[in-house]
Chains A and B, each alone.
Chain A
Amino acid sequence: MTLRETRIGDGRLLVPVFLLIATTIYLIDAIQLAPPIQNGVLTASFFPVVISTIMYVALLCVLWDIARVPKEAAGSSTEKVDQPLGPLWITLLTGAYIFTFSTIGYFLPTFFYVFLMTILFGKGLEGLLFKAAASLIITAAGFLLFGLAFQVRLPTLWSM
């Protein structure tokens, strides 16, 4: 594998590259607001321009560190990874939950969300009856806590 290929496959680049793009969009939007100093007065774009500059410098330092130190020697997160796609499934499931929470209401989406979460966090499809019972209890407990104890009006079907 060439050095270029190694670097492209280096997961450590994900965060700095994403932030480089985000900072550039941020800076462009800031400059479009107004010049940083106008008639001797600091405008709304002054601070964003300053912090964008700081961000670029910091990102360059991180990219330099990544270029200097191979991935194998870097010693990244010490967390063991058994399920690399676990976070992706949780994110998609949570997104779906938020969407159905807003359209269908609290009870059904929460029950199915909790049920599917117990499958993702637990040992897959083992003990489905227990997971279903736990989901029911957690959904009910959530309603008791928010709906009754704290008097929060949770969404229901056709209420929004």
Chain B
Amino acid sequence: MDFLLAILNGFAALAQPDILLYMVAGFLVGMFFGAVPGLTSVLAIALLLPLTYSLDITAALVACASIFMAGMCSGSITATTINIPGAPSSMMTALEGYPMQQRGEGAKALGHAAIASMIGGSVGALALMFVAPLSAEVALLVRTPGKFSLIFFALVVIIISQQKSISKGVITTTIGLMVATIGIDVMQPVARFTFGTGILVQGIDMMSLIIGAFAISELLIQANRRLNRTVDLDQVDASPIRRRDFIPPLSEIREIGAYRYLKAAVIGYVIGILPGAGGSMAAFVSYSEAMRSSKHPERYGKGTPEGIAAAESANNSMCGGAFVPMLAFGIPGDPTTAIILGVLIINGLQPGPQFMENQLELLFPMFASLFISALILVPLSFYLLGPYFLRMVSVRRDVLYSSIAVVALVGAYAATFSIFQMVMALIFGVVAYFLRRQQYPTICLLLGFYLGPSLEKYCRRSLQISDGSPMIFLTSLDSLFFLALTAVFFYFLVIRKPKPNPQS
């Protein structure tokens, strides 16, 4: 009964005008950042992060959830119309949407994307509402050695899911772990790696790392290009979309079928639960499965609504799944939830089973925002704004990136009132720039930084309990379970690498 009451109160919170305003504003911001090539919803939330110091926590979480949902689906707009995915999660949508655009069915493709995003996002949000409290119960069963092995599992999965180079993933994760050790030791009152300076005793602020790694590094990457606009105006004028063509025929929706929409949503949700997996993996796996099980696999890659439905339903459902490990264990499911975790920490809230038991009333407005964004805002915004979106995302780069720079740097100052943290943001930005240029995955850096202190704390505590014997990680059932899971994932994703899609 309490649980149902909490859900209802969560929806009721959205009825307050200021909270509703934050949800809609967050959705529009997320839509813009998700649609513009080169920007992401991760960057949007990273820029929002310093502002959350001054915001009510409910408003901040509601805005984050709507940015997340919007960012995941809006990448399909430019993916379909000009074959440039606005977000990494829309790459599979581009494979099907752009051929449809080329034969004059661009609006219909976007309509399919909106419907699939609506279904997937709603299913994911509902599943989150019911699964999240259960995951708290499961989290309570995990003991200290199990917590170490769980974090170890999370880091391994994050590294191997990067696919391009495991060594590079290990390197950036380890950089994050090293940066996290600067300051006071997790278990003893000993200052580490301060090099005699008093200012490093407080450690490195998460804000500088996030602003530097995502915002500043993006500016530096974009500084390599000399383009006037984010999307060429010629492409905008060559791709007109008419609103009346937006709603797909019911026969096509029936042909895709409820089963396919739900299957894609479930795939996306489950992949979202895996640490570090993200929307692009959800879309890829769902798309591959849809092609494998389709009656007409030969249509894939040539513009089939089935492919769009599979990809978009999965990547939006992933949003719900990604919150599960973040809230239950403090382990982010994807880059966006990693930064939302930062929002919670800044406001003095530590995710975990106690948090889930005692602070559900804080979380349900966020879950409700995720649901309403998917069910109502996604289709509404696509229908209302879809025809104008290409013009809206064709922005002068000089104005866009200088605005981002000001928000990022002044935001870093506003959050900490520290010039030192602004300097650290710049340093991390430069480091992340060089890492990105050489294709080192920077998300691993952030997750290594977040999870490092907990990894060290649980490791040392476990070895203290067992008087130094590492066998405790094998004799504790929960730890053995997660280590076995790590081995299984490593075997299937690294040793027996998935075969590349022959059509790609």
A152 near B54 with CB under 8 A, answer yes
Residues in A neighbouring B429, C-beta threshold 8 A: 91, 94
Known contacts A42-B463, A48-B181, A117-B398; is-contact A26 B193 (Cβ 8 Å):
yes
Complex interface: chain B residues within 8 A of A43 (CB): 188
Give Cα distance in the complex from A138 to B168, angstroms. Answer: 38
- Looking at B170, B226, B434, the one whose CB has the most chain A CB atoms below 10 A away is B226
Please give, as numbers and ranges, the residues of chain B lying within 8 Å of A97 by CB-CB distance: 409
B450-467 vs A, Cβ < 8 Å mask (1 yes, 0 no): 000000100110011001
Q: Does A81 sit within 8 A of B, measured CB to CB?
A: yes
Mask of B177-193 contacts with A, CB within 8 angstroms, 1/0: 11001000101101011
A146 pairs with B414, CB closer than 8 A: yes
How many residues of chain B are within 8 Å of chain A by beta carbon? 69
Q: Are B406 and A33 in contact (CB under 8 A)?
A: no
Query: Provided the pairs A55-B171, A151-B54 are in contact, do residues A40 and B440 lie with their beta carbons within 8 angstroms?
Result: no
Distance A88 CA – B170 CA, assembled complex (angstroms): 27
CB distance from B398 to the nearest CB of A (A): 3
Q: Pick the interface stretch among B216-224, B243-251, B342-350.
A: B216-224
What are the residues of chain A within 8 A of B471 when measuring CB–CB? none
- Contact pick for B167, options A58, A117, A121, A152, CB 8 Å: A58
CB atoms of A19 and B398 under 8 A apart: no
Q: Does B407 contact A (CB under 8 A)?
A: yes
Chain A residues near B190: list those with CB within 8 A: 33-34, 44
Please, how many angstroms separate the alpha-carbon atoms of A23 and B51 in the complex? 34
**Complex: chain B residue closest to A77, CB-CB:** B437
CA distance A118 to B222 in the complex (A): 12
Interface pair B422/A77, CB less than 8 Å apart: no
A131 to B228, CA, bound (A): 13
Q: Which residues of B have CB within 8 Å of A34?
A: 190
* CB atoms of B426 and A91 under 8 A apart: yes
Q: A62-B167, A77-B439, A98-B419 are in contact. Are A114 and B402 (CB under 8 A)?
A: yes
**Complex Cα spacing A138 to B401, Å:** 11
Contact mask for chain A residues 84-116; partner B; CB cutoff 8 A; 1 contact, 0 none: 101101110011011001100010001001100
**Which listed residue (B174, B192, B225, B435) contacts A80, Cβ 8 A?**
B225
- Is B403 an interface position by the 8 A CB rule? yes
Known: A54-B174, A122-B398. A90 touches B219 (CB 8 A): yes
Please determine whether B51 and A94 come into contact, CB atoms closer than 8 angstroms.
no
Contact of B468 with A by CB under 8 A: yes
B464 and A42 within 8 A (CB): yes
- Near A by CB (< 8 A), chain B positions 303-321 give none
A15 contacts the other chain (Cβ, under 8 Å)?
A: yes
* Contact between chains at B405 and A86 (CB < 8 Å): no
Measured in the bound complex, the distance between the Cα atoms of B410 and A139 in whole Å is 11
Q: Are A55 and B178 also in contact (CB < 8 A) when A114-B402, A117-B398, A122-B396 are?
A: yes
* CB within 8 Å of A: which B410-445 residues: 410-411, 413-414, 417, 419, 422-423, 426, 429-430, 433-440
A61 to B419, CA, bound (A): 38
- Nearest to B219 among chain A residues (CB) is A90
> Is B399 located at the chain interface by the 8 A CB criterion?
yes
> Can you report 24 residue pairs joining A to B where beta carbons are below 8 Å apart?
A14-B438, A26-B178, A41-B464, A44-B187, A44-B190, A47-B177, A47-B181, A51-B178, A58-B174, A65-B167, A80-B225, A82-B226, A83-B223, A86-B224, A91-B220, A94-B216, A94-B405, A94-B409, A98-B419, A114-B403, A117-B402, A121-B402, A138-B402, A150-B54
